[in-house]
Amino acid sequence: MNGETMWFTCKSKLVTLGGVAALTAGLLMTGASPAPAVAVNDDFSFSRPPLEIQGVYETLVTNETKNKTAGYARWISDGDKLIAHDGLADGYAIVAHLSDGRTASTQGIESPATGTATGDLPENHTYKMWVCAVKGSFSRCSPERDVKS
């Protein structure tokens, strides 16, 4: 290799390295940042138990992602008691709602946990109950169902 060929080879490598450095610097100067991580939440389903006792209404919560029962909401008409139970340590809380405005929740309580809400209601009235699996701003709720006081 003569001196001229050697200079051309070195010059080509310097140009290539310089191009890579310029491209990298350009990306850094534009303020390009990686996309934020997308929060992925578990999927939930809701069902009624196969057998229900008179005056006790229940909606089961299943964490489909983990394929496990997560908890339930229960309304007991004798005593007008709303119950939310979280039996799965998956990071989600169970919140039971009644259409009179009361809620029973396991938020902020380590699983397994049960939250209750009671209060006298007029007898033989129909209300709506539903249950949600919640975590931060995520909430997945069951359809409403009729319950009686």
Q: Is the pTM of this model over 0.85?
A: no
Residue 121 has pLDDT above 70, yes or no: yes
Q: 125 and 83 in contact (C-beta within 8 Å)?
A: no
Please report the pLDDT score of residue 25 as a whole number. 47
Residue 82 · residue 75 · CB < 8 Å? yes
According to CATH, what is the number of the domain 44-148?
A: 2.60.40
Query: In degrees, to the nearest 5, what angle opens at C-alpha 130 toward C-alphas 82 and 85?
Result: 50
Single-letter amino acid code for the residue at 104: A
Q: What is the mean pLDDT of residues 74-87?
A: 97
pLDDT (tens digit per residue) in 18-65: 444 444 444 444 455 555 556 689 999 999 998 888 999 999 999 999
> pLDDT higher for 120 or 35?
120
* DSSP state, residue 42: P
More confident position, 9 or 34: 34
- Contact by Cβ (8 Å): 96, 105: yes
Say whether pLDDT at 143 is over 70: yes
Task: Give the three-class secondary structure for 103.
Answer: strand
Distance CA(94)–CA(67), nearest Å, equals 16
Is-contact 86 107, C-beta < 8 A? Answer: no
- On average, the pLDDT of the chain sits at 83
Distance between CA atoms of residues 148 and 113, nearest Å: 25
Q: Can you tell me the mean pLDDT for 132-144?
A: 97
The more confident residue out of 116 and 52 is 116
Other CB atoms within 10 A of residue 134 CB: 17
pLDDT for 15 equals: 42
DSSP state of 147: E
Task: Parse the chain into domains and list their residue ranges.
Answer: 44-148
Residues 74-81, mean pLDDT to the nearest whole number: 96
